[in-house]
Amino acid sequence: MKVLVLDSPDEVGKKSLEFLRGPRIAVSGGSTFLELFRIWMPEVKRKAATGEGLRFFPVDERKVPFEDPDSNWRVCYEGLLQPAGLTGQREHRAISAPQYAAMLEREFGVGPVVFDSVFLGMGKDGHTASLFPGAGAIRDRKSIVLDVIGPKPPPQRITLGLKPLWDCKTLVAIAIGSSKAEVVRRLREGDPELPITMALAGHGNAVLLLDKAAAGAV
Ligand code: 6PG
C-alpha cells in the first residue's frame, strides 16, 4: 500500500485527480466525496467535452429514494455528473443487489467486473463501502454486489463486495480530518478487524491518500 500525505483536504482532492482513471470508475459516498466531487467536476467536465467517456458507478448506495439527501447517487449526480454534463449516468443508480449486478453484467459483459479505478472512503469504525466490521459481507470473497444491513444509518444498503475492490486496476482510499486519525493509525498497523484493511491489503497495489490531520501529523 502506497501512502501519500498531503498538507490539506484541497491538496488531497487535487492529488486524487491523478488516479481518476477511466473509463469505468466507482465512487463512494459520505462527506469526503461530497467535497471531492466539487474538486473533480471541472476536470471531469473537460474530459466529457473532449469525448473521453468517463462512466461513473456507485461503490455503495443507501436504500432510500433518489430524492433523499442520504442517497449517495443523488450526491454524486448533483455534485459531479449533472454539472459535468453526464446526466445520462443518473441511471447507474443501485436499487438492489440483483438489479445492480445485472447492470454491471451489461456494462462489463460476462467476464470479471474490473473497474479502471475505485475510490473508497472509510468510517471511524474502519468500514469502507458498506462493508462493516464483523458483518458477513466481509467474509464474502466472491460476490460482486451485496444487499446489507449496516450500523451507519440509513441501515439498508447495497455495496460492492471485496472481489471487485480487489480486482480493479486502481484502488484509492481517502481519509481527511483528525476524526479519522485513529482508524488510519489502525489501518497502517494492519489491523485485520477493519474492512478497510482487508480491502486495501487484498488489492496489493492500493493507494492511501491522507491529509496531515488524518495522518495524525498535526
Ligand atoms: C456510505 C459511504 C461510506 C463512506 C464512509 C466515510 O455510504 O456511507 O460509502 O463508506 O465513504 O462512511 O464517510 P465520511 O466521508 O462522511 O466520513
pLDDT value at residue 218: 79
Residue nearest to atom 1 of ligand 1 (CA): 29
Strands (DSSP E) along 44-187, which ranges? Answer: 55-58, 60-62, 117-120, 145-149, 156-160, 170-175
User: Which atom of ligand 1 is nearest to 179's Cα?
Assistant: 17
| Ligand 1, pocket-test mutation among 72, 122, 138, most atoms within 8 A of CB | 122
pLDDT value at residue 53: 84
Collect all residues with Cβ–Cβ distance below 8 Å to 116 and sequence separation of at least 6: 21, 22, 23, 24, 25, 168, 169, 170
pLDDT value at residue 57: 98
Greatest extent of the chain over all pairs of C-alpha atoms, in Å = 48
Residue nearest to atom 7 of ligand 1 (CA): 29
| Ligand 1, pocket-test mutation among 31, 152, 159, most atoms within 8 A of CB | 152
Q: What cell does 194 get? A: 477493519
Mean pLDDT by 10 residues, the chain (218 residues): 97 97 97 96 95 95 98 98 97 98 96 97 98 95 97 96 98 98 98 98 96 94
Q: Which residues pair with 159 in a beta bridge?
A: 60, 146
List the one residue out of 158, 145, 161, 164 whose CA is nearest residue 203: 164
| Ligand 1, pocket-test mutation among 38, 59, 63, 128, most atoms within 8 A of CB | 128
Cβ atoms of 101 and 145 closer than 8 Å? yes
Ligand 1 contacts CB of residue 129 (under 6 A) = yes
pLDDT value at residue 61: 98
Separation of alpha carbons 16 and 207, rounded Å: 10
How does strand 2-6 pair with strand 24-27?
unpaired
Strands (DSSP E) along 99-168, which ranges? Answer: 117-120, 145-149, 156-160
Ligand 1 contacts CB of residue 179 (under 6 A) = no
Q: Give just the sign of the alpha carbon dihedral 134, 152, 173, 181.
A: negative
